[in-house]
Structure 1
Amino acid sequence: MSDIQSAAGILYRLNTACSAEEFFALLGVDYDPKIVNVARLHILRRMGQYLAKEQFAGAAEAEVTARCKAVLEQAYADFVASSPIEQRVFKVLQDAVAEPKKPAAFVPLSALK
């Protein structure tokens, strides 16, 4: 392991993970493959939203790992309790329920000169 890898620890390994399953394995979080197969991107996006609120500067590696694990468990639980449609972590799903825009005014061809 290089100095960069050992210094960054779990955050480095999570950053280089290639799949949702790898995140769960790295952090030792149990999961139902059926839920992950449906909501993998949503779970990881929600985990990222939760992690963005965390401050890891100066934290010991064990604390960083425990906090990352808790965040993944929380993100996963969000999708055990409800669906990706209900959680709406992606903009396209948020926009789908946003206030509808007023339709453009209809101008009949006969009104054009």
Structure 2
Amino acid sequence: MTQALSDFKKLMDAEEYFQFFQLPFDEQIVNVNRLHILKKFSQLVAKIDAAFPDIEPEEKLNQYREALQQAYNVFLTSTAVEEKLFKVFNEKPKNVVLLSEIESD
């Protein structure tokens, strides 16, 4: 089966990306980390697109495949909170004082 960049652009679900690239995945890991895997994947795709703007479609898809595997692998050993991919994980609540900010005399 020949894969086309136009087919890739139609994909929406995490499982569709894994199936498109014929990558094995643990359904439970994807269910728990779906948005984070897709966010990390989109960041990696953006880097590939910026670094190689004139790359051939077949090679681009190969790079994307590796990026999806890399994004998935991150969440085999890390958590969403550790990765802090979304703004909500990087914002300090306005009405909270952290213990690390309290000084003792």
Greater relative contact order structure (CA < 8 Å, 6+ sep): 2
The CA distance in 1 between the partners of 2:57 and 2:9, in whole Å, is 15
Residue 38 (str. 1) matches residue 47 (str. 2): no
Counterpart Cα distance in 2 of 1:18 and 1:54 = 19
Counterpart residue number, 1:68:
64
* Residue aligned with 2:47, SS: coil
Q: Of the two, which has the highest radius of gyration?
A: 1
Shift of 1:49: 0.8
Cα-to-partner distance string for 1:51-108 (whole Å, 9 max, x where unaligned):
111134332222111100000011111111111111111101121xx4x6587xxxxx
- Structure 2: gaps spanning 5 or more residues: 97-105
After TM superposition, the runs of 4+ consecutive aligned structure 1 residues lying more than 4 A away are 100-103
Which range moves more in the overlay, 62-71 or 50-59? 50-59
Helix, strand or coil: the match of 2:74?
Answer: helix
Unaligned runs of 5+ in 1: 1-8, 104-113
Task: State, as a whole percentage, how many aligned pairs show the same letter.
Answer: 34
- Alpha carbons of structure 1 residues 102 and 25: separation in structure 2 relative to 1, 3 Å: closer
CA distance in 2, matches of 1:102, 1:38: 29
Offset, 1:15: 2.5
What is the root-mean-square deviation of aligned Cα atoms in Å?
2.3
Equivalent pairs counted in the alignment come to 93
* TM-score, with length taken from structure 2: 0.76
